[in-house]
């Protein structure tokens, strides 16, 4: 095609092309245009550690920056806040969003300096169109290595201070168990001992046998003597092997040791107390097995020691008592065995209390008492003497009552509070009332009303209530009163031991007594 053109036309065409190219260059220089060149790859390893953010979203990062951005993946926050969490210990507070670094200015970039003066790094924010590029600039060759080194040093200082200020002793030893390092708690404890802090010998009497398995051995319990104190300090010491020797940890267990010693002394005291009790004791645990018994139980029940030490169940224990007639024969023993659960429930509530009258003539009181953790205790008391004394006393009272009922005199006893406590049959017939027929207590005032209504007016009743309630020595009183139907009665009031008062009425004319008819002496109703 160019062959068909003349030299003049070719010259004009080339000149126009050159002029167009020149105008393009001039326009680019005038209005800031740049020729289109390939954008640099942000992942180029030769670039600083860079992050490209749009809002809080990380859209691109260099290789080293990707490693740092992935360090803190423990939270569910966005990428920018995760990066802030990693960089704020070094650079302080950072903006809520990368774009906020330019909120108050039109600057193209902004730089953040580190907190420590010796730190030569910088955190630089660059505008990048609608996004923000964040670069970590270091004077060191590798920005990531420098940042990680600072982070490791910060963590190392934290851990060193945490161990040095730990409240419990921690120390390191070589293979010969010589102390090579100690924390402050160990030094303070060493100063309180006779060992002092100058020696590298351990203040704890440790065993030379160190476990190979760091997690499979229980700590050693050792005691050290403190200067100027009679008591010892107890510690649990755990020793763990390391590459160069051993590291040891001590924990004070004085409270635990003292508590166990107090518990041991308490158990010994209880054991001695139980051994001297006359009451038989049988304690069953929550699974109804015999857990504890005392010698009195063997004396009362004659149960062999071998049987008790075998820890029989509650059912087997009661079966043995029944077979050897140490408990009353239930009317329906199979039903009784089924009701053992109800017996245990009643004992746990403290409601089980039975009296066993044995064929041997002995009488036992069996009481169930609740114990902690679902246990239950049964107490066996021999109350044979008490029951015998009660029965003999009741028999004596019945005999005395029968003797007094045979007396012709009407007798009545009043307590110092004025309550009628005793009257014989002649008294009840003479005054035609029975004190036992009323639920309410009969007082001297009640009886005085009856006497005054049945007898003629007499000075014998004057001050009688005051005489019954008076303290100190009292002179017996005697008088004659006239019963409206029976005639003259000899009345007397005499003091008794304990402040009681005996009052008696005796018919003066025996012939009148013989002539009284049965109807006249009969009580109403």
Question: Has residue 338 been placed in a domain?
Answer: yes
Question: Has residue 512 been placed in a domain?
Answer: yes
Taking every pair of Cα atoms in the chain, the longest distance, rounded to a whole number of angstroms, is 193
Strand partners, 482: 488
pLDDT for the residue numbered 53: 92
pLDDT for the residue numbered 16: 42
Shared-domain flag, residues 146 and 180: no
Shared-domain flag, residues 429 and 483: yes
User: How many whole angstroms separate alpha carbon 218 and alpha carbon 238?
Assistant: 7
pLDDT for the residue numbered 17: 41
Shared-domain flag, residues 251 and 343: no
Question: Has residue 265 been placed in a domain?
Answer: no
Q: Are 488 and 397 contacting, i.e. CB atoms less than 8 angstroms apart?
A: no
Shared-domain flag, residues 411 and 514: yes
Compute the chain's Rg from CA coordinates: 54
Where is the domain boundary, 353, 386, 419?
A: 386
User: How many whole angstroms separate alpha carbon 288 and alpha carbon 253?
Assistant: 35
Question: Has residue 271 been placed in a domain?
Answer: no
User: How many whole angstroms separate alpha carbon 497 and alpha carbon 287?
Assistant: 57
387 membership: H or E segment, kind and range? helix 384-405
DSSP string, 480-506: EEEETTTEEEEEEEEE-GGG-EEEEEE
| Alpha carbon separation from 78 to 53, 55, 370 (Å, rounded) | 11, 10, 61
Where is the domain boundary, 93, 125, 152?
A: 152
Based on the structure, what is the number of domains in the chain?
Answer: 4
The residue with tokens 């109804």 is 288
243 DSSP 8-state letter? S
| Alpha carbon separation from 180 to 186, 320, 409 (Å, rounded) | 12, 68, 107
- Whole-structure pTM value: 0.42
pLDDT for the residue numbered 12: 38
Shared-domain flag, residues 380 and 412: no
Q: Are 461 and 451 contacting, i.e. CB atoms less than 8 angstroms apart?
A: yes
pLDDT for the residue numbered 524: 36
Question: Has residue 7 been placed in a domain?
Answer: no
Question: Has residue 38 been placed in a domain?
Answer: no
Shared-domain flag, residues 139 and 213: no
Q: Are 368 and 350 contacting, i.e. CB atoms less than 8 angstroms apart?
A: yes
pLDDT for the residue numbered 482: 92
Q: Are 314 and 336 contacting, i.e. CB atoms less than 8 angstroms apart?
A: no
pLDDT digits (tens, 9 = 90+) for 261-290: 888 888 788 778 777 888 898 989 888 899
Shared-domain flag, residues 92 and 132: yes
Shared-domain flag, residues 286 and 239: no
Where is the domain boundary, 328, 356, 386?
A: 386
Question: Has residue 267 been placed in a domain?
Answer: no
Q: Are 5 and 13 contacting, i.e. CB atoms less than 8 angstroms apart?
A: yes
Quote the domain boundaries for residue 203.
166-256
The full 3-state SS of 41-106, as one line of letters, equals CCCCCCCCEEEEEECCEEEEECHHHHHHHCCCCCCCCCHHHHHHHHHHHHHCCCCCCHHHHHCCCC
Shared-domain flag, residues 129 and 222: no
Shared-domain flag, residues 74 and 144: yes
> Which has the closest alpha carbon to 438: 366, 525, 330?
525
Question: Has residue 16 been placed in a domain?
Answer: no
pLDDT for the residue numbered 145: 61
Shared-domain flag, residues 412 and 517: yes
pLDDT digits (tens, 9 = 90+) for 308-322: 999 999 888 988 888
Q: What is the mean pLDDT of each run of 10 residues along the chain (525 residues)?
A: 42 40 38 38 57 89 76 64 85 88 76 84 87 82 62 77 88 87 88 67 75 64 83 88 88 90 83 82 89 89 91 88 82 65 67 82 86 84 86 86 87 92 90 82 91 91 91 90 91 92 84 43 34
Task: Give the domain CATH number at 499.
Answer: 3.30.450.20
Q: Are 447 and 428 contacting, i.e. CB atoms less than 8 angstroms apart?
A: no
pLDDT for the residue numbered 501: 94
Q: Are 332 and 352 contacting, i.e. CB atoms less than 8 angstroms apart?
A: no
């Amino acid at each position: 095609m160019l062959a068909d053109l003349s030299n003049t036309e070719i010259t004009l065409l080339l000149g126009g092309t050159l002029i167009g190219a020149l105008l393009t260059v001039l326009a680019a220089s005038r209005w800031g245009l740049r020729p289109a060149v390939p954008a640099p790859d942000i992942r180029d390893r030769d670039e600083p550690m860079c992050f490209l953010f749009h809002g809080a979203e990380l859209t691109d990062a260099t290789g080293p920056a990707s490693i740092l951005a992935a360090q803190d993946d423990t939270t569910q926050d966005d990428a920018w806040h995760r990066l802030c969490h990693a960089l704020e210990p070094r650079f302080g507070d950072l903006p809520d969003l990368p774009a906020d670094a330019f909120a108050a200015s039109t600057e193209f970039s902004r730089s953040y300096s580190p907190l420590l003066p010796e730190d030569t790094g910088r955190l630089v924010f660059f505008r990048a169109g609608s996004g923000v590029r964040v670069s970590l600039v270091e004077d060191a060759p590798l920005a990531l290595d420098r940042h990680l080194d600072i982070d490791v040093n910060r963590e190392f200082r934290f851990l060193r201070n945490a161990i040095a200020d730990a409240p419990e002793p921690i120390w390191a030893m070589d293979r010969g168990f010589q102390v090579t390092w100690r924390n402050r708690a160990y030094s303070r404890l060493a100063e309180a001992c006779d060992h002092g802090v100058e020696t590298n010998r351990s203040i704890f009497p440790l065993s030379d046998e160190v476990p190979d398995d760091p997690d499979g051995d229980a700590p050693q319990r050792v005691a050290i003597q403190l200067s100027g104190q009679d008591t010892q300090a107890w510690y649990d010491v755990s020793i763990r092997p390391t590459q160069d020797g051993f590291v040891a940890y001590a924990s004070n267990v004085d409270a635990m040791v003292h508590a166990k010693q107090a518990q041991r002394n308490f158990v010994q005291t209880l054991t001695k107390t139980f051994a001297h009790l006359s009451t038989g004791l049988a304690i069953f645990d929550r699974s109804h097995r015999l857990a504890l018994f005392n010698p009195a139980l063997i004396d009362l029940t004659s149960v062999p020691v071998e049987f008790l030490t075998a820890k029989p169940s509650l059912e087997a224990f009661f079966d043995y008592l029944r077979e050897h007639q140490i408990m009353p024969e239930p009317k329906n023993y199979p039903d009784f065995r089924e009701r053992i659960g109800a017996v245990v429930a009643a004992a746990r509530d403290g409601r089980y209390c039975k009296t066993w009258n044995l064929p041997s003539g002995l009488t036992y009181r069996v009481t169930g008492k609740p114990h902690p953790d679902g246990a239950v205790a049964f107490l066996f008391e021999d109350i044979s003497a008490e029951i015998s004394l009660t029965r003999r006393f009741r028999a004596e009272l019945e005999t005395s009552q029968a003797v007094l009922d045979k007396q012709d005199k009407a007798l009545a006893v009043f307590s110092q509070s004025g309550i009628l406590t005793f009257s014989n049959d002649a008294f009840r017939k003479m005054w035609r009332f029975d004190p036992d027929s009323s639920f309410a207590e009969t007082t001297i005032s009640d009886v005085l009303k009856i006497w005054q209504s049945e007898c003629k007016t007499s000075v014998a009743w004057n001050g009688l209530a005051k005489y019954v309630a008076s303290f100190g020595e009292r002179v017996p009183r005697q008088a004659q009163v006239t019963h409206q139907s029976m005639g003259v009665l000899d009345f007397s009031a005499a003091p008794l031991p304990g402040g009681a008062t005996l009052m008696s009425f005796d018919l003066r004319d025996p012939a009148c007594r013989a002539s009284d008819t049965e109807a006249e002496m009969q009580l109403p109703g």
